[in-house]
Amino acid sequence: MGKPAARRSPGNAARPDAARKGALRLLNGLREGLSLADQPGALANLAPADRARAQRLALTVLRNIDRADTLLVEHLSKKPRPEVLDVLRLGTVELLEMGEAPHGAVNAAVGLVQSMGPKGRAASGMVNAVLRKIADQRDIWQTLPPEEMPDWLRDPIAAAWGEDTVLAIEAAHQAGAPVDFSAKPDRTAPGEALPTGSYRLDGQAQISALPGYAEGDWWVQDAAAAMAARLLDPRPGEVIVDLCAAPGGKTLQLAAAGAKVTAVDISGPRLGRLRENLARCGLSAEVIEADALAWTPAEAPHAVLLDAPCSATGTIRRHPDLPLIRDDSGIEGLAALQAALIDRALEILKPGGRLVFATCSLLQAEGEDQLAAALQRHPGLTVIRPDLPGIQPDWITDRGGLRLRPDYWPDKGGMDGFFIAGLQKPEAAR
């Protein structure tokens, strides 16, 4: 007589569904207008591995939600309740995008709807039948186009750069984003060294377990975002203000270069993350919670880095929830705030000093148009041409700004969308 089968503990048996249920809570929060980042409580009770899987599941669903619906509608006689539809979307994505075994993914989906009470149990037969049919549609799945951006974003991008660029950006959004790092000047970070000086890690990893994390050799920062501080060209001993600084990647770059940095941001919680990163990396900066429009430095800085509040439309490849919870209703107000912040940054800047303005936006209203308007408002400003390592000439605009897009570096995994402009304030009149 053989040994009795080993029992799986309830915790181990529940792990896959714990992550799936966490993903469904995140998707439900989106219907209430909350971004994934605005829902820390949705995953608070999960183990770290389950939390990471739940986030990965939710992100993958969001990158493929229209593709999933395209297939599902062919098998549904009527639209199911939203929470049941989310289970069907999750099952479809697990089957066709993530390569889960049909038996496990279908059974898990059925179990999820059965746990929703009488109405969920009534839908379990339908969920089982639909997903079994979906499992046979891998070939069709591969032919479906990437998720389309909403018209309020798609139309201005097409007007600026053409339909081919729109399609290339949508493909980049579909592919998601690798993890990039910035390292201290005398250190390296995991992954491949990129032409601009950042490092890129392909695939999934526990960040805190990577070599150099505990030593503070590097920090997570998209390669496009890192170019703003590189354009500013911080020098040892310079007094530099980082306005709208949190969560602090650019502050770390400036401090690592030996500058005397003051980091200003209106958000106390986000500044908490900045302080944690400074401490881990053994770097120092003065951190101030204040409204950048009202704050005055004790000493006029040599340089200001302004990463202004914006629509964040350049970050959709890592935040696919953004198009589902935002529209263009706030763009005009954001553009006005950006202009006011540029004016304030120039006001506090030492004569002859340098300002780098940046937004993680794909909209010219938050980039190219801001540069043109600033040059008109402030006669005497000169543009610092972004001739940086790894920059392609066609990334530089007619006025000397740096336009970065998700479809750049397609063979390397893309980059976030950014607009970055360097400005030199005129010397004081004699």
Going from N- to C-terminal start, the domains of the chain cover 12-143, 179-424
Taking the CB of residue 32, how many other CB atoms lie within 10 A of it? 9
**3-class DSSP assignment, residue 220:** strand
Q: How far apart are CA 264 and CA 8, in angstroms?
A: 51
What was the pLDDT predicted at 429?
56
pLDDT at 137 over 80: yes
What was the pLDDT predicted at 2?
42
Q: How far apart are CA 176 and CA 168, in angstroms?
A: 13
What was the pLDDT predicted at 6?
38
pLDDT at 210 over 80: yes
pLDDT at 166 over 50: yes
What was the pLDDT predicted at 206?
86
pLDDT at 16 over 70: no
What was the pLDDT predicted at 11?
39
Calculate the alpha carbon distances from 23 to 57, 58, 244, 339, 357 in Å: 6, 5, 31, 38, 36
Burial 236-269 (b: 16+ CB within 10 A, else e): eebbbbbbbbbbbbbbbbbbbbebbbbbbbbeee
Supply the pTM of this predicted model: 0.92
Closest by Cα among 202, 417, 196, 191 to 317: 417
Q: How far apart are CA 18 and CA 53, in angstroms?
A: 9
Computed over its alpha carbons, how large is the radius of gyration of the chain?
A: 24
The class (CATH top level) of 179-424 is alpha beta
Which residues are CB-neighbours of 42 under 8 A, at least 6 positions away? 22, 25, 26, 29
Give the CATH number of domain 12-143.
Answer: 1.10.940.10
What was the pLDDT predicted at 5?
38
Which helix H or strand E contains 236, and what residues bound it? none
Average pLDDT over residues 34-41: 91
Calculate the alpha carbon distances from 312 to 177, 294, 410 in Å: 15, 24, 20
Q: How many residues does the chain have?
A: 430
Lowest average pLDDT, out of 9-13, 105-109, 238-242, 376-380, goes to 9-13
Domains 12-143 and 179-424 equal at CATH topology level:
no
Which pLDDT band holds residue 203 (cuts at 50, 70, 90)?
A: confident
Which residues does residue 357 pair with via DSSP β-bridges, in sequence order? 306, 421
Taking the CB of residue 121, how many other CB atoms lie within 10 A of it? 13
Burial class (CB in 10 A: 0-12, 13-18, 19+), 78: exposed
Q: Dump pLDDT digits (tens) for 249-270.
A: 999 999 999 999 999 999 999 9
Helices 10-31 and 82-96, interaxial angle, to 10°? 120
What was the pLDDT predicted at 205?
84
Which residues does residue 307 pair with via DSSP β-bridges, in sequence order? 358
Catalytic-residue membership of 310 = no
Which letter does DSSP use for residue 202 in this model?
-
Closest by Cα among 399, 400, 419, 292 to 343: 292
Q: Dump pLDDT digits (tens) for 277-317.
A: 999 999 999 999 999 999 999 999 999 999 999 999 999 99
Average pLDDT over residues 130-134: 97
Where do we find the tokens 């997570």? 220
Mean pLDDT over each residue of the chain, to the nearest integer? 94
Average pLDDT over residues 68-93: 96
Which letter does DSSP use for residue 203 in this model?
S
Where do we find the tokens 């469904």? 24
